[in-house]
């Protein structure tokens, strides 16, 4: 391995080194369970990864025999993963103590799964894509069941593992059919084969392969009809894991989805967008209308996560430069508002009572006004109310649909967003206009948790009020795929 490849792999090497170091510390250090020190070590790894990414700005380095590429597109997503990692780790430092999670294993698995996420965004080969998918998924299967004394957590882990393995089988079979049809695993080689072959001479197996790949991605982004696992897994998993899963896995899946479909399967864009149009509509509609009847806030956020996948698919269907760049922007915005909301739930969690139902929020605005204000910002952003990041993200997504003449898709998206306002604002109503049925417990706010909430609020407002710089970076990143 030459120096160029080592530099390309530097962010991954940093993550792997810190993850293995954390495992050793957790195994051999006295009283390592639940200590904050390991959390701060994991947080330091995020700082080093962030700094290492600046070595690649404006460059398109290749590694592993051109199986991965560190270009502007992958760098943008790596920065998104760093944001997700920082917010999750900050929020977890106190949460792992409350829930009794063994911190060494927990933080190591976060870093290992992030390696898979980064590889998914950088993959330019079918083999690397599948390996990176499994590297991301397996640690999260384990993390979902970390609350070993909670039946819901064990159930969540089993459901996610079994359904994830089933979806991975479809995904791998789809990649195999593409290889059989084209004789190549490299994205570039497959794209050249498709471009150089008359449409009627292409093997019908390519279409089957694309369909199976879509099923695999549909499971990871929680798109209809592959979303059934989402509410049970999100509700049962530790809240910090749910936040990490809802944002990181979704971002990694969309990173790979956009790269492979728009750089390899672009000649078939007219064909697969017809199916994606229907999936986007059903995903938004099912997610929003099911969230309307939820009394458990964590479960409500799980269904809303399905709806947000639908919004992202609207931009994917639009397929133009604005649509693709709005996917990148929205995933970053979603990371701030989603992890922020889940962090509030982590603050409210107790050892044997997680306070996830709506009644737990009654009167919160008067006893903890700043916490309620932060939660309100996150709810407003998810509902798409200005001047938040969620509003800007949805505005650009629906604008992209209009620009591509998908008028009905834009209208359905806007109507779905209007429906979501009800269940998001219901949380705000409970905090400020409903009397608590019993005394509100005393919640402890550690410095890392407060910083995570403040950082999330800042991100939501920054991207909502001054979105220009991030949008320009997203557009520049998308140009790397063209």
Q: Do residues 15 and 109 touch, judged by C-beta distance below 8 A?
A: no
Q: Do residues 181 and 202 touch, judged by C-beta distance below 8 A?
A: yes
Helix axes 126-144, 250-263, angle to 10 degrees: 160
The DSSP symbol for 319 reads -
- Whose tokens are 């927990």? That residue is 106
Q: Do residues 68 and 125 touch, judged by C-beta distance below 8 A?
A: yes
Residue 153, pLDDT score: 83
CA 287 and chain centroid, separation? 16
Range scoring the smallest mean pLDDT among 59-73, 300-314, 452-466: 59-73
Mean pLDDT throughout 185-199? Answer: 84
Is 262 exposed, middle or buried, given 0-12, 13-18 or 19+ CB atoms closer than 10 A?
middle
- Whose tokens are 């549909």? That residue is 218
63 strand-pairing partners: 68
Distance CA 195, CA 320 (A): 20
- Whose tokens are 């009627």? That residue is 200
Residue 358, pLDDT score: 84
Question: Two tokens at 356?
Answer: 């996830």
Asked if the peptide bond before residue 225 counts as cis, ω within 30 degrees of 0, the response is yes
Is 147 exposed, middle or buried, given 0-12, 13-18 or 19+ CB atoms closer than 10 A?
buried
Residue 439: give the domain boundaries: 3-479
Helix spans in 222-320 (H): 230-236, 239-244, 250-263, 269-291, 297-318
Distance CA 175, CA 413 (A): 31
The angle at the Cα of 80, spanning 75 to 86, to the nearest 5 degrees, equals 125
Residue 35, pLDDT score: 66
Distance CA 386, CA 378 (A): 12
**pLDDT at position 351 over 70:** no
Residue 87, pLDDT score: 95
Asked if the peptide bond before residue 387 counts as cis, ω within 30 degrees of 0, the response is yes
Which run of H or E residues covers position 457? Answer: helix 447-465
At 48, the pLDDT band (50, 70, 90 cuts) reads: very high
Residue 380, pLDDT score: 95
Averaged pLDDT score across all residues of the chain:
88
**Count: domains in the chain:** 1
pLDDT tens digits, 294-342: 888 889 999 999 999 999 999 999 988 899 999 999 999 999 999 999 9
C-alpha gyration radius of the chain: 21
CA 416 and chain centroid, separation? 21
Closest CA to 245 of 334, 363, 355: 334
CA 301 and chain centroid, separation? 13
pLDDT tens digits, 405-446: 999 999 999 999 999 999 999 999 999 988 887 777 778 888
**pLDDT at position 53 over 80:** yes
**pLDDT at position 31 over 70:** no
Is 2 exposed, middle or buried, given 0-12, 13-18 or 19+ CB atoms closer than 10 A?
exposed
Q: Do residues 208 and 175 touch, judged by C-beta distance below 8 A?
A: no
Distance CA 48, CA 45 (A): 5
69 strand-pairing partners: 62
Residue 184, pLDDT score: 87
Question: Two tokens at 94?
Answer: 């106190």
Look at 356 and 361; give whichever has higher pLDDT.
361
Question: Two tokens at 447?
Answer: 């410095």
Distance CA 151, CA 133 (A): 27
Distance CA 278, CA 204 (A): 22
């Amino acid at each position: 391995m030459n120096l160029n490849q080592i530099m390309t792999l530097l962010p991954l090497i940093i993550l792997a080194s810190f993850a293995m170091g954390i495992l050793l510390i957790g195994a051999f250090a006295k009283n390592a369970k639940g200590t904050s020190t390991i959390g701060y070590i994991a947080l330091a790894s995020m700082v080093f990864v962030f700094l290492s990414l600046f070595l690649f700005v404006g460059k398109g380095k290749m590694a592993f025999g051109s199986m991965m590429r560190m270009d502007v597109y992958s760098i943008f997503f790596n920065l998104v993963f760093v944001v997700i990692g920082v917010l999750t780790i900050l929020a977890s430092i106190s949460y792992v103590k409350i829930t009794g999670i063994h911190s060494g294993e927990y933080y190591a698995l976060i870093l290992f799964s992030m390696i898979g996420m980064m590889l998914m965004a950088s993959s330019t080969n079918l083999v690397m894509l599948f390996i990176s998918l499994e590297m991301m998924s397996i640690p999260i299967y384990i993390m979902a069941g970390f609350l070993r004394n909670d039946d819901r957590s064990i159930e969540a882990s089993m459901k996610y593992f079994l359904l994830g393995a089933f979806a991975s089988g479809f995904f791998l079979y789809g990649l195999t059919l593409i290889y059989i049809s084209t004789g190549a695993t490299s994205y570039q080689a497959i794209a050249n084969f498709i471009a150089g072959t008359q449409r009627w001479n292409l093997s019908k197996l390519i279409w089957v392969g694309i369909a199976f790949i879509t099923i695999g991605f549909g499971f990871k982004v929680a798109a209809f009809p592959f979303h059934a696992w989402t509410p049970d897994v999100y509700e049962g998993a530790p809240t910090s894991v749910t936040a990490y899963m809802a944002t990181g896995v979704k971002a990694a899946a969309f990173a790979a989805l956009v790269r492979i479909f728009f750089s390899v399967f672009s000649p078939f864009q007219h064909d697969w967008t017809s199916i994606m149009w229907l999936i986007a509509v059903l995903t938004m509609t099912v997610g929003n209308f099911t969230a309307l009847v939820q009394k458990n806030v964590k479960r409500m956020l799980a269904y809303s996560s399905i709806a947000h996948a639908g919004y992202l698919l609207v931009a994917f269907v639009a397929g133009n430069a604005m649509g693709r760049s709005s996917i990148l922007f929205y995933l970053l915005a979603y990371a701030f508002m989603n992890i922020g909301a889940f962090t509030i739930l982590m603050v409210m969690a107790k050892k044997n009572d997680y306070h996830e139902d709506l009644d737990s929020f009654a009167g919160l605005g008067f006893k903890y006004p700043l916490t309620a204000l932060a939660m309100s910002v996150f709810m407003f952003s998810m509902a798409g109310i200005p001047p938040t990041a969620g509003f800007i993200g949805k505005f650009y997504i629906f604008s992209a649909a209009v620009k591509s003449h998908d008028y009905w898709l834009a209208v359905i998206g806007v109507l779905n967003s209007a429906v979501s306002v009800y269940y998001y604002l219901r949380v705000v109503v409970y905090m400020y206009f409903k009397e608590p049925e019993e005394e509100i417990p005393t919640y402890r706010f550690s410095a890392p948790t407060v910083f995570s909430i403040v950082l999330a609020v800042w991100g939501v407002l920054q991207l909502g009020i001054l979105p220009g710089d991030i949008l320009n970076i997203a557009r520049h990143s998308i140009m790397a795929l063209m």
